[in-house]
Copies of this chain bind each other. A is one copy, B any other.
Amino acid sequence: MSGKNDIYKPRPISGFLEWLPEVRLVEQRWLDQIRAAFEQYGFCSIETPSVEEIDVLAAKGGDADKEIYGLRRLAAEPGEDDTASGGGRLALHYDLTVPMARYVAQHFGDLVFPFKRYQMQRCWRGERPQEGRLREFYQCDIDVIDMDEVSLHFDAEIPAMTLDVLSRLDVGPVRLHINNRKILQGFYQGLGIEDVVNAIRIADKLDKIGHDGVIQGLTEELGLAPSVASKCVELASIKTADTGFADEVRAFGIDNELLEAGLEELTFVMLELAHLEKGTVVADMSIARGFDYYTGTVYEGKLVDYPDFPTVCAGGRYDNLVGSYSRQKLPGVGISIGFSRIFSKLVKEGRIEVGAKCPTDVMVACLPGSSRTDLGVTSRKLRERGFKVEMYHEAKSLKAQMKYASRKGIPYVWFPANAEQENHEVKDMINGEQSVVDIDTWTP
């Protein structure tokens, strides 16, 4: 706490981003482009509160809760029951999937299915910040939820949309890795592995702990035979840009219905995506996704230019997610784009080209001969014509006014007609040319 005359020198808060206006302008343009793309596919927007009841977040299980920020009312006394204010009962959401599932269950009767929604909001996680890991971040999610069954076509449309969206931004090439949990589960079951969940969890660390580490984990932790553990690692090495993966998996000779169902589903999805540029989509048997609510197709996208950078979009198909909050069977499939992760990485790499520090098209200069009415009428007329216009309010030197326009990156300065000057004139701040113009017809 500071006294009245003290100065509290603010510092950046680790893991929480904020941008200068010129960067924010680009961020806003990107968010607008993503939203426009989502709407081009007919997805509707929803927003949920920033908080959920802790019980709602906990109902999904998993170990996400260790990162959750709960709320407490600052003024609550220690031991005071603060639940009426939401203190102790509410927490900031850590993703947009759980809130969406809760939303669908809660508003079930008012929604039309298949329900296709996009959601672009901040999420919070109390993690230790590191590259690509923030405490507050925008996610841009798309999901389709349907009653009883959701068409497998969506398993292809969702990643196609995601790639379309990302291709409209300057993020460089993106590669989407697709797998199907049924392939992993069926394959592991077919090998006689009992603790499939933990085997998948260990094999999912291939990138981090390597071939030998996975073998060691599978044999030591789960007691698998080395030959079985080897097959798990061999499966994970299968990656094809077409439907070739299916034959490679079938070559193991494992007879399992779930495995076969997974191979058929993934083949269907890969064929539906065949119109995309070759290599954009890869069937990749190493992809598992940590969350245990995924039951079919799973996705992970990477920036090709930064292979060591974490996943930038991810998702999958879930059959029972909404089921935590409703007896109605509501399966779904979706992808989440880690917007802030991508944007902050590209800012850091110097790949975001920033321009003006404000949206202004025209600054109306304040000349000694101009009355307030001249300035006001000119500004209003230009605004009515659709331009973004700011007035310079003080009769400072022309030099000071031009410096302001130039530092903010304003492209045009307007000198209004007045008692001393019959015509409107405009100065182009890029090439320095000044010319007489007509206010009703001028265009940049």
Q: Check if A55 sits within 8 Å of B8, measured CB to CB.
A: yes
Chain B residues with Cβ below 8 Å from A50 are 16, 50, 122, 124, 136
- Distance between Cα atoms of A10 and B84 in the complex (Å): 17
Q: Check if B46 sits within 8 Å of A21, measured CB to CB.
A: yes
What distance in Å separates the Cβ of A412 from its nearest Cβ neighbour in chain B? 12
What distance in Å separates the Cβ of A10 from its nearest Cβ neighbour in chain B? 5
Q: Check if B10 sits within 8 Å of A106, measured CB to CB.
A: yes
- Distance between Cα atoms of A154 and B366 in the complex (Å): 14
Q: Which of A358-396 contact B (CB under 8 A)?
A: 358-360, 363, 372, 376, 383, 387-391, 393-394
Q: Per-position contact with B for A4-21: 1 when CB-CB < 8 Å, else 0?
A: 101111111111111111
Chain B residues with Cβ below 8 Å from A73 are 66-70, 126
Q: Knowing A8-B325, A50-B50, A151-B394, say if A44 contacts B388 (CB, 8 Å).
A: no
Chain B residues with Cβ below 8 Å from A11 are 53, 106
Closest B-chain residue to A384, C-beta based? B40
Q: Knowing A65-B74, A86-B13, say if A56 contacts B18 (CB, 8 Å).
A: no
Which of A7, A21, A127 has the most chain B CB atoms closer than 10 A to its own CB? A21
Q: Knowing A54-B74, A394-B153, say if A327 contacts B7 (CB, 8 Å).
A: yes
What distance in Å separates the Cβ of A276 from its nearest Cβ neighbour in chain B? 11
How many copies of this protein are present in the complex? 2
Chain B residues with Cβ below 8 Å from A96 are none
Q: Per-position contact with B for A266-289: 1 when CB-CB < 8 Å, else 0?
A: 000000100100000000000000
Q: Can you name 23 A-B pairs with beta carbons within 8 Å?
A: A2-B324, A7-B326, A10-B56, A12-B106, A13-B53, A16-B50, A18-B46, A18-B48, A21-B46, A39-B388, A41-B389, A42-B358, A42-B359, A50-B122, A65-B74, A67-B73, A69-B72, A69-B87, A70-B72, A84-B128, A85-B127, A86-B126, A153-B391
Is A112 among interface residues, defined by CB-CB distance under 8 A? Answer: yes
Q: Per-position contact with B for A45-84: 1 when CB-CB < 8 Å, else 0?
A: 1111111111110110100011111111111000000001
Is A357 among interface residues, defined by CB-CB distance under 8 A? Answer: yes
Is A28 among interface residues, defined by CB-CB distance under 8 A? Answer: yes
- Distance between Cα atoms of A16 and B408 in the complex (Å): 38
Which of A61, A70, A154 has the most chain B CB atoms closer than 10 A to its own CB? A70
Q: Which of A110-132 contact B (CB under 8 A)?
A: 110-112, 114, 116-117, 122, 124, 126-128
What distance in Å separates the Cβ of A311 from its nearest Cβ neighbour in chain B? 23
Chain B residues with Cβ below 8 Å from A1 are 55, 58-59
- Distance between Cα atoms of A205 and B65 in the complex (Å): 45
- Distance between Cα atoms of A216 and B49 in the complex (Å): 43
Chain B residues with Cβ below 8 Å from A2 are 55, 58-59, 324
Contact among B43, B87, B151, B157 with A358 in the assembled complex (CB-CB below 8 Å): B43
Chain B residues with Cβ below 8 Å from A16 are 49-51
How many chain A residues touch B (CB < 8 A): the figure is 110
Chain B residues with Cβ below 8 Å from A153 are 372, 391, 393-394
Q: Which residues of A contact B (CB under 8 A)?
A: 1-2, 4, 6-21, 24-25, 27-28, 39-56, 58-59, 61, 65-75, 84-87, 90-92, 102-103, 105-107, 110-112, 114, 116-117, 122, 124, 126-128, 135-136, 151, 153-154, 157, 272, 275, 323-327, 357-360, 363, 372, 376, 383, 387-391, 393-394, 404, 407-408, 410
Chain B residues with Cβ below 8 Å from A363 are 42
A-B contacts besides A13-B49, A44-B358, 5 pairs, CB < 8 Å: A1-B59, A15-B86, A19-B47, A24-B44, A41-B389
What distance in Å separates the Cβ of A272 from its nearest Cβ neighbour in chain B? 7
- Distance between Cα atoms of A387 and B122 in the complex (Å): 28
A-B pairs with lowest CB-CB distance, top 7: A42-B390, A42-B360, A16-B49, A153-B393, A21-B44, A44-B358, A66-B75
Chain B residues with Cβ below 8 Å from A387 are 40
What distance in Å separates the Cβ of A297 from its nearest Cβ neighbour in chain B? 15
Q: Check if B59 sits within 8 Å of A8, measured CB to CB.
A: yes
Closest B-chain residue to A387, C-beta based? B40
Contact among B41, B112, B323 with A407 in the assembled complex (CB-CB below 8 Å): B112
